[in-house]
Amino acid sequence: MTAEDVARAAREASNMLQTVSSAQKSLVLRRIKEVLVERRAAIVEANQQDKAAAQIEVDAGRLSSALFKRLDIEGAGGEKYTTLLQGVDDVDRIPDPIGQVTMARRLDSDLDLYRVVCPVGVCLVIFEARPEVVVNIACLAIKSGNAAILKGGKEATRTNQALADAIQHAIATTPRQEGVQFPERAVQVVSTRDEINSLLDMDRYVDLVIPRGSNSLVR
């Protein structure tokens, strides 16, 4: 898919998310956790491949040791992966924010003003190193009714893709609710700088860009 295909699919997914219920979001989140458990070995293997390639860069002085440490998705004894899974449960337990009234004010006779929480739409999130961010942001996007396009650090490309594949499979295999299918393209991953450069110019599809990382990344 081209960058424009990804952006267009995200916009379509964002529109479809307007019809998704809180119960369906919860089903998807629980299914994501199930698939992450089922695919743990494959995801860890992808992560080991990323770390092996990154170690070569560290030895050559092209990658910092601190960045290398952030690549690990399993942790000692697997506690980091367990924390990742717990994070999915934590998001699932958050009350659905969509539709909540956060302010109400009477301006005049028969004229009331309400501030109601609604989704942003399509969020492009760019982050460094930590592959678990794919799951963190995907789950928060699903809970808040937003479509997400994710771009992680190139050092974690295999891990990021394995996690994204697991999430998309979980979405695709979640049963319909009241005839509504959760959009499979609600979460997508891109991997190149050229794709990001193209997406940054697609404000007709992308509503919000979030850089998450160092000052150099933000600049």
Phi, psi of 95 (to 5 degrees): -60, 140
Look-up of token digits 């369906």 = 24
What is the per-residue pLDDT for 177? 81
Write out the chain's pLDDT in tens, 219 residues: 899 999 999 999 999 999 899 999 999 999 999 999 999 999 999 999 999 999 999 999 998 998 899 999 998 888 999 999 999 999 999 999 999 999 999 999 999 999 999 999 999 999 987 999 999 999 999 999 999 999 998 999 999 999 999 999 999 999 988 778 899 999 999 988 899 999 999 999 999 999 976 565 555
Closest C-alpha to 150, from 188, 119, 108: 188
Angstrom distances, CA of residue 17 to CA of 12, 119, 204:
9, 9, 18
Alpha helices per DSSP H over the chain: 3-17, 22-38, 40-59, 65-70, 79-93, 133-143, 157-172, 193-199, 215-218
* Burial (CB count <10 Å: 0-12, 13-18, 19+), residue 213: middle
